[in-house]
Amino acid sequence: MGVIAQCKLLNGDWRALSGLMSAKESRAELLQKRLTWFGSRLLRVAARLPQNYQAQHIAKQMTRSATAVAANYGEVRGAESRSDFIHKLRVVLKELNETEVWLDLIVQNSWFSPEKLSALVAENQELCRIIAASIKTAGGFHR
């Protein structure tokens, strides 16, 4: 079963992915799926924003940052050295932090209620913690 089909079965809950994970899938592969799921959920939010200039600006910016998260994590998985790995993880963290700003602006402008976005905001925060912990484990926070 493909990732798209799996995500449709999930009805909005990435945690069900772990139950669909095959014995051969690693944590990195599961995180890749989770980041892709996160990006796809944010694309749906962007598509539902009002059609005014301000909201569409936010939609485009959020689309870029949210989809860059999964793409850049794919680059992390192919890192050529530890320093390259840490650098690419930092890029993922920056994109997640940017996405958080766009989500906050969406709520502050009342385009979505805080309740409607709470699961995505919480997921963004959890993904930030996961990526930050990976950077720390790799030795990337000792500057």
How many whole angstroms separate alpha carbon 106 and alpha carbon 118?
12
Ramachandran bin of 12, using left for φ above 0, alpha for ψ from -120 to 50, beta for the remaining angles: left
Q: Would you say the pTM of this structure is higher than 0.95?
A: no
For residue 1, give the H/E element and its range.
none
Paired tokens of 89: 């993880």
Paired tokens of 128: 């930030």
Per-residue pLDDT of the chain (143 residues; tens, 9 = 90+): 444 444 443 445 555 555 555 656 789 999 999 999 999 999 999 999 999 999 999 999 999 999 999 999 999 999 999 999 999 999 999 999 999 999 999 999 999 999 999 999 999 999 999 999 999 999 977 65
Q: How far is CA 112 from the centre of its chain?
A: 19
